[in-house]
Amino acid sequence: MGPFWDIPPGVVNCSGKGLSVVPLALPRNTGILLLSSNRLASVSTASFQHLPELAELDLSGNALGALHTGPPLPLLQELVLSHNALGVLPTLQGLPALTRLALAHNNIS
């Protein structure tokens, strides 16, 4: 058995893939999406609308300068934005279930 068998169902690990955009071809049942250590400069919640079960999103370690919210992610509970280039606190509209927000190591003043 390899490392892929150790990942629980609903977890998609796209960390360290050099991505500059959020991939579209993700399983609809994705509950945890790991997109850390990529090259994402700007992300919108619209990029995740095809993932109705998304509960945890890790965007840490990118060059993220902007997070655009608007289209709701009603089940998202955890949003990790640490180690990015955010200069302002993102507007968190459309995230009614959010209980954990990680923003350490950004440029927020």
At residue 3, does pLDDT exceed 70? no
CA distance 74 to 71: 9
Asked whether 51 and 67 are in contact (CB, 8 A), the reply is no
- The residue that leads in pLDDT, 5 or 17, is 17
Identify the band that residue 8 occupies on the pLDDT scale cut at 50, 70 and 90: low
Report pLDDT for 5.
43
Q: Is residue 76 part of a domain?
A: yes
* Residue whose C-alpha is closest to residue 36's, from 92, 89, 98, 80: 80
Considering the domain boundaries, does residue 72 fall inside one?
Answer: yes
The mean pLDDT of the chain is 91
Number of folded domains that form the chain? 1
> Which pTM does this prediction carry?
0.91
Residue 84 belongs to domain with CATH number:
3.80.10.10
- Looking at the domain assignment, is residue 28 inside a domain? yes
Domain span including residue 60: 8-109
| Residue 45 in domain | yes
Q: Is the pLDDT of residue 6 over 70?
A: no
Sheet holding 78-80, edge to edge: 11-13, 32-34, 56-58, 78-80, 100-102
Tell me the pLDDT band of 4, cut-offs 50, 70 and 90. very low
What distance in Å separates the CA atoms of residue 102 and residue 6, rounded to the nearest whole number? Answer: 26
In a domain, 2, yes or no: no
Residue 46 inside a domain? The answer is: yes
3 within a domain of the structure (yes/no): no
Tell me, yes or no, whether 87 lies in a domain: yes
Taking Cα atoms as reference points, which of 80, 88, 102, 86 lies closest to residue 33?
Answer: 80
Of the candidates 67, 63, 60, the one whose C-alpha atom is nearest the C-alpha of residue 46 is 67
Task: Report, as an integer, the average pLDDT of 44-59.
Answer: 96
pLDDT at residue number 70: 85
